[in-house]
Amino acid sequence: MKILLIFPPLTLHRLDVSSAQRGLLMGLAYLAAVLRQAGHEVRIINCRALDETGTAIDVDFRRYGLTDDEIIEKIAAFNPDFIGISCMFTSYFMDSHRLARLVKHWNPNIPVIFGGAHASTFPEQVLKDDSIDAVVIGEGEVTICEVAERLSNRLPLTGVKGIAHRVDGKIIREEPREFIENLDSLPFPAWDLTEEDIQWSKEVNQHNVFLMRPPVGHILSSRGCPNDCYFCSVKLTWSKCWRARSAKSVVDEIEFLQKKYSYREFHFVDDNSSVSKKRLMEICDEILARKLDIKVATPTGIAIATLDREVLTKMKKAGFYRFCFGLETGDPEGQKIIKKRVNLDKAREVIKIANQLGFWTSATFIIGFPHETRAHIQKTIDFACSSQMDFVIIYLLTPQPGTEAYQILKQEGLIDLDGYLDPHNPDCYKISLTYCNGFKTRFMSNAELQETLAFAYRSFLIAKIFSFRTYYNALLKLRSWEDCRYMFKLAAIPLRMFFWTLIGKRLSNTSIRSKHHADYELKNVGDI
pLDDT of residue 276 exceeding 50, the answer is yes
Structure confidence at residue 519 (pLDDT): 30
Omega before 215 within 30 of 0, i.e. cis: yes
> For residue 465, is it within any domain?
yes
Determine the structural domain holding residue 392 and report its residue range.
Answer: 206-398+442-512
Q: Residue 164 pLDDT > 80, yes or no?
A: yes
In this structure, how many other beta carbons lie within 10 angstroms of the beta carbon of residue 15? 19
What is the model's pLDDT at position 54?
87
513 confidence band (pLDDT: 50, 70, 90): very low
Q: Give 74-118 pLDDT, tens digit per residue.
A: 999 999 999 999 999 999 999 999 999 999 999 999 999 999 999
The pLDDT mean for the chain works out to 91
Residue 198 included in any domain: no
pLDDT of 235 higher than 50:
yes
Q: Residue 125: pLDDT above 50?
A: yes
Cα 193 → chain centroid:
21
Question: How far, in Å, CA of 166 to CA of 477, rounded?
Answer: 58
DSSP string spanning 146-186?
Answer: HHHHHHHTT---TT-TTEEEEETTEEEEPPPPPP-S-GGGS
pLDDT tens sequence across 175-198: 999 999 999 999 999 999 999 999
Going by pLDDT thresholds of 50, 70 and 90, the confidence category of residue 384 is: very high
pTM, rounded to two decimals: 0.93
pLDDT at 474: 93
Looking at the structure, tell me whether residues 160 and 243 fall in a common domain: no
Element (H, E) at 33: helix 26-37
- pLDDT, tens digit, for every residue of 136-158? 999 999 999 999 999 999 999 99
Which domain CATH number covers 122? 3.40.50.280
243 shares a domain with 111: no
Q: What is the CATH number of the domain that holds 471?
A: 3.80.30.20
Residues 212 and 357 in one domain: yes
Count of the separate structural domains present in the chain: 2
pLDDT at 409: 93
Q: What is the pLDDT of residue 503?
A: 63
Has residue 333 been placed in a domain? yes
Q: Is the residue at 419 inside a domain?
A: no
Confidence category of residue 517, pLDDT binned at 50, 70, 90: very low
pLDDT exceeds cutoff 50 at 20: yes
pLDDT greater than 50 at residue 391: yes
How many whole angstroms separate alpha carbon 493 and alpha carbon 491? 5
